[in-house]
Chain A
Amino acid sequence: MKVNTRNFVQTAEREMQNQYARAFLALMPPVIAALRVQVMGSFPDPEAAQELGRAIRAEAVARMPDLLEEFERNAVAAGARVLWARDASEANELVLSIARERNVTEVTKGKSMISEETGLNEAFKNNGIEPFETDLGEFIAQQLERPPFHIVGPAINVPVEEICDLFMKKAGMEKATTDPVELGYAARLFLRDKFRRVRMGITGVNVAVAETGAIVNVENEGNIRFNKSSPLTQVSLMSIEKVVPTMNDALHLVRLLCRNCTGQGISAYVSIDRGPKMKEEFDGPEELFIIIVDNGRSRIYEDVKMRQVLRCIRCGACLNLCPIYSKIGGYPYGWAYSGPMGQVLNPALLGVDDTSDLFNACTLCGTCREICPAGVDHPELFLYYRELEAEGKKMSSGRWEARFFKLWGTAAAHTGLWRFFYRLVRPVVARYGKEGKIKAMPGPFEGWFKTRDLPVPARRTFRDRWRKSMSEKNLSRGGME
């Protein structure tokens, strides 16, 4: 997928003018968030259930190499073929060569975020193979060539009129309609034909299980089940952090994933594969390929401070309550992952240089950390990325900034000195004021005003007024006595 993380500010400004998206963002995320709270209540102790999820993910990351080997051993024993890819192009090349060897010209795909990362659809197209996303939202986003707006609803913001045009042009829909149900039905018919004929299906993996070598997928539409039932070849891509120790761990994560993702107790379908179909089965894949993709993660693993980002299970709960995401939507984040999830993942995977706006566009309110079922400490990561950025840039203002804050520190620690500077600075600052606001100042403070205004300081300070009113009060009291 094309990386567009450098245009965060422009895209955010544009999206904030998009009334349709704004209306949606004001409505939907709070509804999902409320559903989430309600359905978490089905655990006898919701907080303990979240804690267990966090512990499972922490253990999965801590034991990652051992779990990967155990998973591979068991998956291979069950007849799966396990392949490894260092990066996006290796992963795509593996999938392409499987497709080429089988003379496949069309593939269907279940939603897979790792394939969004590697740009698998583009790779297919460049090699004369037509990929069809089969998750309805992904299908729309793919045909519109847009990044996902929300990890759960990739095209949930797209107006029905636009979808109607699209389906008339590209999905063989004959009669124009703006009814979401009829639109969905048109997509059903179009994709059903693909499911029937296609010989190779691609899926992602939500959880992989070391003790059984099984892969688990969570979905509502049934498109992933079709991909695992109809074609002769199934290729499932997983990033290295997906493996958990046991089946029961996977089940607990599925419970948490569904609750945190869509506010459901469980999704309509959970499907678990251990190897390809048995010989006697009438349907299911004759071959199952599992591609384990690194794509920068083992480098992230080497950094003990950054490693925790690999705990993320992609539920998207953090998006729904984020004060930034809920104003700007998913597009400004410029890549596969948006919201706080994207703010922690994109810099780790793409580097801090290209993603500066992502980890700086945050108030550090910590809601994402509180809600996270995987135990990711987003604010800690944002601070770490900012630190890396500052160190890497050796900012030219660094020396002055350091002196300024040293002076500030000294002044702030001494009352007399503080008052002295305060009286000195106030009238100077006030001179830049216009209609009660200071919108810009020259010199080293210029940058601060880029995104902020400062109210003009009042002519007399609060302390001065307080002192005066107290002495007046004392006077009047004195008079009464």
Chain B
Amino acid sequence: MEESAREEILARLRKVPKEETPVRPVLPPARELSLDKEGLVSLFTEKLSRETGVVYRAADRDEALDHLTEIARTENLKRVMTSTDDTILSLDLPAWGDRNGVAVSTAADYVDREEYKRAVFDEADAGITGADFAVAETGTLVTAHSERQPRLVSLAPILHIAVVGIDRLVPVYEEALNAFYGYGGRIPAHVTLITGPSMTADIRATSFKGMHGPRRVMVILLG
């Protein structure tokens, strides 16, 4: 049945004379492309702040951990789940958690998918992840998901904290996505672009953050 539906649909589409494909206009280059590093940082910060995201800067690993400590204190974090990408591993968060009384776990710590889901849905006060890119254009995090970057860690907990190397800050989406889809190699199964917290305005057009995913997003720009 499937096969014949496919043939039938394609045959009908091919029966008609082909239209010419129109000439595409050439766009002037995006303004973001002319920004220097500091320009990108301030644009990224401005755009993300507009979506209620909070941006911190950390000169090094220790400063990043200081920010995390401060956030853990003010947000009263008891349990967090983290990704295991290079940026996050370099922070040695289990040791940080021991020093600050925060239980730190990763998806691999649970016996199976169900246990991991239970923990990330019901137990984690925050998800702490890296991101492959930060895009200045709209204050967007771009992440290719993998076993080191599980999908639910940046989605299910009510607070999402991302740590991104400043060398990963790019002006426009294309520079991020072409790195995944452009040059062969292992293409990720799942890529997300995250701009601020989960939100809705579906009831009486009243904006509400934290509809299904995080209510708040914090980004630590490292370096």
List chain A positions with a Cβ less than 8 A from chain B.
24, 28, 42-45, 48-49, 51-52, 54-56, 58-59, 61-65, 68-69, 78-79, 83-86, 90, 94, 134-137, 140, 153-156, 158-160, 163, 180-181, 183-185, 187-188, 191-192, 195-196, 211-212, 214, 220-223, 225-226, 228-230, 240, 247-248, 251, 265-278, 280-284, 292, 294, 298-299, 301-302, 304, 307
Does B99 have its Cβ within 8 Å of any Cβ on chain A? no
Residue of chain B at shortest CB distance from A181: B208
A-B contact pairs, 24 of them (CB 8 A): A42-B31, A55-B23, A58-B22, A86-B5, A90-B5, A137-B202, A153-B202, A155-B202, A155-B203, A180-B208, A195-B121, A221-B213, A222-B213, A225-B213, A229-B155, A251-B177, A265-B138, A266-B138, A269-B198, A270-B192, A273-B189, A278-B147, A283-B150, A294-B5
A83 to B6, CA, bound (A): 8
CB contact under 8 A between A269 and B27, given known A160-B203, A294-B9? no
Enumerate B1-49 residues with CB–CB distance to A below 8 Å: 1-2, 5-6, 8-10, 12-31, 47
Report how many residues on chain B are interfacial, defined by Cβ distance under 8 Å.
79
| CB neighbours of A158 from chain B (8 A) | 203
Does B194 have its Cβ within 8 Å of any Cβ on chain A? yes
Please tell me if the beta carbons of A84 and B113 are within 8 angstroms of each other in the complex: no
Interface Cβ pair total, 8 Å cutoff: 259
CB proximity of B162 to chain A, nearest CB, Å? 14
Q: Mark B144-161, 1 if CB is under 8 A from A, else 0.
A: 011100111001100000
Please tell me if the beta carbons of A192 and B121 are within 8 angstroms of each other in the complex: yes
Does B187 have its Cβ within 8 Å of any Cβ on chain A? yes
| CB neighbours of B182 from chain A (8 A) | 247
Please tell me if the beta carbons of A277 and B190 are within 8 angstroms of each other in the complex: yes
A59 to B204, CA, bound (A): 38
Please tell me if the beta carbons of B200 and A156 are within 8 angstroms of each other in the complex: no
CB contact under 8 A between A52 and B208, given known A153-B202, A221-B199, A271-B192? no
| CB neighbours of A153 from chain B (8 A) | 201-202, 205
Please tell me if the beta carbons of A228 and B190 are within 8 angstroms of each other in the complex: yes
CB proximity of A170 to chain B, nearest CB, Å? 15
A44 to B2, CA, bound (A): 46
| CB neighbours of B22 from chain A (8 A) | 54-55, 58-59, 62
| CB neighbours of B27 from chain A (8 A) | 43-45, 48-49, 52
Q: Mark B91-131, 1 if CB is under 8 A from A, else 0.
A: 00000000000000001100001001110010000000000
CB contact under 8 A between A225 and B211, given known A55-B22, A281-B145? no
Q: Which 7 A-B residue pairs are closest in the complex by CB-CB distance? A: A222-B213, A137-B202, A229-B151, A180-B206, A222-B198, A282-B107, A280-B147
Contact of B2 among A45, A83, A271 (CB under 8 A): A83
